[in-house]
Amino acid sequence: MSKQYVKRHVLEKNKNNSKEKEKPNKNIFSKNFKKIYPIGLHRTCSPLSLSLSLSQNSTDSSLTDYSAPLDEKISLAIRLIAPTEKREVPVAKIVQQPSADPGEEGLIRRCNWITKNSDKVYVQFHDECWGVPVYDDNELFELLALSGMLMDFNWTEILKRRQLLREAFAGFEPNQVAKMGEKEIMDMATNKELNITESRVRCIADNAKCITKIAREYGSFSSYIWEYVNYKPMINKFRHPRNVPLRNPKAEAISKDLLRRGFRFVGPVIVYSFMQAIGMTIDHLVDCFRYRDCVNLAERPWRHV
């Protein structure tokens, strides 16, 4: 055997030994690689592969079963990495649509003067009536009378007796209230449930007479009062309660004319409260859930009936 042949034989033998040594390393690498990418997505760098790699500590053998369909593997991996508990979202950050149940007011963002201690009747008035345009003479007369009572009571106290007042004043029908006699006035003044003074009863009766006169002149009290704003509500964009005024130039002008026509208890502050209640001015704060609803109503074409 020549030296050249022996040298070549040694080289081939060393080469074969080197290849055999490399085989275990390749198997170990492949095994570890499968642990990191258990469903065979190691060739992609998509977000899905990154998220699925979080399941590398799973002991579920189905993940390493390469005979299973790919869709089944992905579905199983997603279930494994899904959170076991739902995170609770702070209630303060939840902005929900208005609920029909007044008891759920804590979940709805309202004007700041509506608090968790506010009476339900006051909350309901805020949610359903305050800032909604009113064109009916009876309703306008009622809200003018209720606004005038703010000199003696707050809205909650007034609204709790609203139904009793409606019954006592014939549904606030101006023509009927204007005809009230002395006996009817005294009966209401002595009614403890109504809890209103004789002067207040007489004031409401006198204002009813003034409204009937305006109705004859303008066709309706509604036409008269809405003419001050060209039959379109004033839309404000107040962000804080301190921005909402107690009176404005328009209220002062209306008050002055009402007093000239014989109305009583209709100062600028009372008139502005009346304007807010009948939707002549939209004073809901911009982050109140009722703001957009009232603005949508205010922007509709005005059709007086």
111 among annotated binding-site residues: yes
Gap between the Cα atoms of 107 and 127, Å rounded: 13
210 among annotated binding-site residues: no
Taking residue 78's Cβ as centre, other Cβ atoms within 10 Å add up to 13
Gap between the Cα atoms of 113 and 197, Å rounded: 28
288 among annotated binding-site residues: yes
Maximum distance among all Cα pairs of the chain, rounded to whole angstroms: 147
294 among annotated binding-site residues: no
In b/e form, how buried is each residue of 61-70, taking b as 16+ CB within 10 angstroms?
eebbeeeeee
Q: Given its phi and psi angles, is residue 274 left (phi above 0), alpha (psi -120 to 50 degrees) or beta? A: alpha
DSSP states along 128-192: HTTT-----HHHHHHHHHHHHGGGTS-HHHHHHTHHHHHHHTGGG-HHHHHT--HHHHHHHHT-T
Helix axes 198-218, 182-189, angle to 10 degrees: 130
Q: Residue 243's beta-bridge partner residues?
A: none
Strands 234-235, 281-282: pairing kind: parallel
Gap between the Cα atoms of 120 and 99, Å rounded: 13
Gap between the Cα atoms of 268 and 142, Å rounded: 18
Residue set of the binding site: 111, 126, 284, 288
Residue set of the binding site for Zn(2+): 111, 126, 284, 288
